């Protein structure tokens, strides 16, 4: 069966609209009948990746592929890249600026949360070029 493919543009430096794309994906997956735990994990992982692009990369693009047994998400930006991916994956490590922390972000939990909530995750990042995050969540339909 052909996957359903959707793409979303994530606006940069815009915290008021951050989460709209993940909200739409969540609503669509719920409507398609995917199980609620998987939908919740996908929504949170995607929101974390969205927020990272808003904070660090002036936005980017998200592609969502919905298969009968899984959902694959790729979020790609043309931001500054991550110098040390291993360090960035550690809980509590953050390079977010103070004004972003005042909004409640920058806890250094974004990438760890993505890892926690997905079944597979890959980060490709080139300093000065950008970052691509791939996520896979196994998800089936309950109805």
Site residues for other proteins per CB under 8 A: 15-16, 18-19, 22-23, 26, 36-37, 40, 43-44, 47-48, 103-105, 107-110, 112-113, 116
- The nearer residue to other proteins, 48 or 77, going by C-beta atoms, is 48
Task: Give the nearest distance from C-beta 34 to other proteins in angstroms.
Answer: 14
Output b/e per residue, 83-109; b: 16+ Cβ within 10 A. eeeeebbeeeebebeeebeeeebbebe
Q: How far is the CB of 120 from other proteins (least distance, A)?
A: 18
Per DSSP, 79 falls in state S
| CB nearer to other proteins: pick between 7 and 36 | 36
Choose between 18 and 136: whose C-beta lies nearer to other proteins.
Answer: 18
Q: Distance between CA atoms of 111 and 24, rounded to whole angstroms?
A: 21
Least gap, CB of 26 to other proteins (angstroms):
6
Q: In degrees, to the nearest 5, what angle opens at C-alpha 63 toward C-alphas 61 and 67?
A: 170
């Amino acid at each position: 069966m052909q996957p359903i493919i959707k793409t979303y543009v994530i606006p940069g430096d815009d915290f008021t609209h951050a989460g709209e794309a993940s909200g739409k994906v969540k609503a669509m997956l719920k409507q398609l009948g995917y199980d609620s735990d998987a939908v919740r994990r996908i929504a949170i992982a995607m929101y974390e990746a969205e927020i990272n692009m808003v904070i660090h990369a002036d936005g980017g693009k998200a592609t969502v592929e919905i298969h009968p047994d899984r959902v694959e998400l790729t979020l790609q930006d043309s931001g500054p890249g991550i110098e040390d991916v291993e360090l960035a994956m550690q809980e509590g490590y953050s390079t977010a600026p103070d004004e972003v922390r005042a909004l409640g972000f920058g806890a250094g939990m974004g990438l760890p949360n993505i890892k926690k909530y997905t079944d597979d995750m890959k980060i490709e990042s080139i300093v000065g070029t950008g970052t691509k995050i791939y996520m896979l969540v196994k998800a089936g339909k309950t109805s």
